[in-house]
A and B are shown apart, each in its own frame.
Chain A
């Protein structure tokens, strides 16, 4: 069944500071869409708007889950998660004084996820063998790379249909970034997820993205309809390669 997101004319900000200006974008069923942009351009704010953490000033955010359309504006975060949309937040936001296993079990809090708990837990441990070694260890004591894996795994435990990922590469070594991006691709294929990923590491993001948007100062400055379209664009060259 189809799962997609459509954002139309979205404006948002904090107090008098306008961060997003009339953003329109869409993520179609089964796609991986990259939201590219350097720091401070509004990528995280956009993710937060979709999740109901930051209320939009104007615009529409609609999601289709299993073929049923939902208006996301005005819904509480937990309600949006309950529909089947998960966010892997920036800065990981694990529960540092809970064990790896407890973090994962909390991921399966919502009713639909509880039924799939055993299966999803087994898959998470298979996909991230490090986590099974450390299952009794406190999440706060994991290394940065392990924490990123746990954050991804915990989001999957909510059994989402649509996965939003906010800057998975932050604070990771280049090798770990490659590993993380590979994992995202693997998870996406395995679960048939629809993915929107905010990322500033252009070269890594484009490895798994079907297409993407470039966001500059809160506006969509370029829409790349394919991977090639993105890599050959002048704006992308200017922003990412200093050309």
Chain B
């Protein structure tokens, strides 16, 4: 392999691995925002919370961050269910979800961030894992383990969610609930319970994505905000309410960022991502795989 080809091939590998990570961060928003019409802009805050819990367990007890996050995901599920209850009682039930609901989640985002600053400070934290410094080499291709492990777990999680949502009665109810809650009641389904559980599921994915984040890069409390744009961009690009779309959108953005960083420099990467988003909105507003 000559050096240009190697550079090109490595950009593809890095882009796909990055895309897998983006999919894990965005799949929760794809559920809450894309399927439930709950504009949870606090999603990155829960990702960060997941990062710090994984970090604490890793730092104090030497446990693997990703394993910890998977084991503790029921905790995030319960947290999500509680949060949706509050949101429902205070805003959705009264038909005030649009603006006040948005302000509510904005508040949650900042409160979580300030809480993390108070507890952990503003320094960057990093986890220590056995595989973080290992890189597989296949010919000229690099497979850094700190990206490969999150990628694999992310694929399991995203594909598992897609199968769950498309093959179960509950999953179909999740797809239907924002379209017509009353019609869902007429099928004998309680739409509030469906939304509560689906939202809880979305927060559970945030906890796991948080562990990926701290395995991949150092974390400090304010970086959650940097990802708000990214996760919503992935969802819109892929198509609202489609998990396959979110996966595709994540790969497209991952590849775009990887190529831009490789050939034009990292500072251009966000411009290309959001350029892609604008182009999608202009030419295919339903997203790549939107219904």
Contact = CB atoms under 8 A, between A and B. Distances in A.
B179 A109 contact: no
Interface residues of B, number: 18
B184 interface: yes
Nearest to B191: A78
B160 interface: no
A109 B186 contact: no
A67 interface: no
A158 B190 contact: no
Nearest to A96: B179
B198 to A, nearest CB: 15
A93 B187 contact: no
Given A98-B175, A114-B169, A82 B188 contact: yes
Contact of A77 (B173, B179, B185): B185
B162 to A, nearest CB: 15
B179 A78 contact: no
Contacts of A94: 180, 183
A109 B189 CA distance: 7
Q: How large is the interface on A (under 10, 10 to 19, 20 to 34, 35 or more residues)?
A: 20 to 34
Contacts, number: 73
B291 A106 contact: no
Nearest to B184: A106
Contacts of B186: 51, 77, 81, 86-87, 89, 93, 155, 158
Contact of B179 (A81, A87, A97): A97
Contact of B176 (A81, A95, A138, A155): A95
Which of A87, A95, A155 gathers most chain B CB within 10 Å?
A95
Given A78-B190, A138-B291, A98 B185 contact: no
Task: Sort A-B residue pairs by CB-CB distance and give the 4 closest, nearest first.
Answer: A110-B188, A81-B188, A93-B183, A77-B185
28 contacts: A53-B185, A76-B190, A77-B186, A78-B188, A81-B187, A82-B188, A89-B182, A89-B183, A89-B186, A93-B180, A94-B180, A94-B183, A96-B179, A97-B291, A98-B175, A98-B179, A105-B169, A105-B172, A106-B169, A106-B172, A107-B187, A109-B169, A109-B189, A110-B188, A138-B291, A154-B187, A155-B186, A158-B188
Interface of A: 51, 53, 76-78, 81-82, 86-87, 89, 93-98, 102, 105-110, 113-114, 138, 154-155, 158
